[in-house]
Amino acid sequence: KAGVTQTPRYLIKTRGQQVTLSCSPISGHRSVSWYQQTPGQGLQFLFEYFSETQRNKGNFPGRFSGRQFSNSRSEMNVSTLELGDSALYLCASSTQNGLAGDTQYFGPGTRLTVL
């Protein structure tokens, strides 16, 4: 099976712009979670989508949003970019059957740099 893919791998934007990141989960996985990794804050949970619905959201401002399509692919959007949004954005997919033992598999990430 192909792994989780994310596009683009690298992005450079300026403050005030918006950005859209894309994630394609492992075939058969219906859940997609997004994480932000920064040197100071580690891996922080952004939100999780399952069957096109956001089921869980982390502690991030409303500038961070996402959606999921019927084929389970997901996009994440950040509006009005700030310098502090520079980070590695990671997407993970899983079956999310709600049972212990459900493992999340990560994509390679999108490195966003805000100038």
| Residue 62 within binding range of another protein, rule CB under 8 A | no
Binding mask 80-109 for another protein (x = CB under 8 A): --------x-xxx-x-x-x-xxxxxxxxxx
Are 91 and 82 contacting, i.e. CB atoms less than 8 angstroms apart?
no
Residue 15 CB, nearest distance to another protein (Å)? 23
Residue 95 CB, nearest distance to another protein (Å)? 10
In degrees, to the nearest 5, what angle opens at C-alpha 29 toward C-alphas 28 and 32?
150
111 forms beta bridges with 10, 88
Rounded CA separation 70/103 (Å):
22
Q: Between residue 21 and residue 50, which ones bind another protein under the rule CB under 8 A?
A: 31, 33, 35, 42-43, 45, 48, 50
Are 5 and 106 contacting, i.e. CB atoms less than 8 angstroms apart?
no
Q: Which is nearer to another protein, 72 or 96 (CB)?
A: 96
